[in-house]
Chain A
Amino acid sequence: DAKTTQPPSMDCAEGRAANLPCNHSTISGNEYVYWYRQIHSQGPQYIIHGLKNNETNEMASLIITEDRKSSTLILPHATLRDTAVYYCIVRVDGGTSYGKLTFGQGTILTVHP
């Protein structure tokens, strides 16, 4: 799986959009971009994933650049409960890596009142 690079920490004001970047310059054509988050002392929670098109769900939006070498997770209206570590993971679906995730250091997002 391709390696990802994320800033170690970010701050965001409550109610504002939080934009979390991720670089994955060595991504392969069949690798998806996944985002998970981990709130303190809990298991990771799936947020969103995509291949090359932008994606949106009830939690967030995922913007992937045209060359797929980077992406941005957008939390449109951050709340205090969004304070967590956010992990960007690039992986191939299925195959020999079925279900396996390799976690980097992630970005600690702190949402301030």
Chain B
Amino acid sequence: AIQLTQSPASLSASVGDRVSITCRASQDISSALAWYQQIPGKAPKLLIYDASTLEPGVSSRFSGSESGTDFTLTVSSLQPEDFATYYCQHFNHYPTTFGQGTRLEIK
């Protein structure tokens, strides 16, 4: 199965900051990468798919990019509601797997 390695595991930032989270795939996944946000006690929410396509209704503060097997989620100008755990997921073939998660905390 394809392994996804997220970094950092946790991150402290302040409201208004710009932050980036990286997800590295163990092999080529042809842009079939998604990002989810999970607020504590809530279900995950799809933010971005196909590495850089924003899910309808998701704030444009969120953006995604890719370079080979490295994928980046960037949040510009953090808002209080953005503090959560973020997961990447590949979906280009069975079995789908998730990264281990990045916890974004308020500094």
Binding between chains A and B: no
Interface residues of A, Cβ cutoff 8 Å to B: none
Interface residues of B, Cβ cutoff 8 Å to A: none
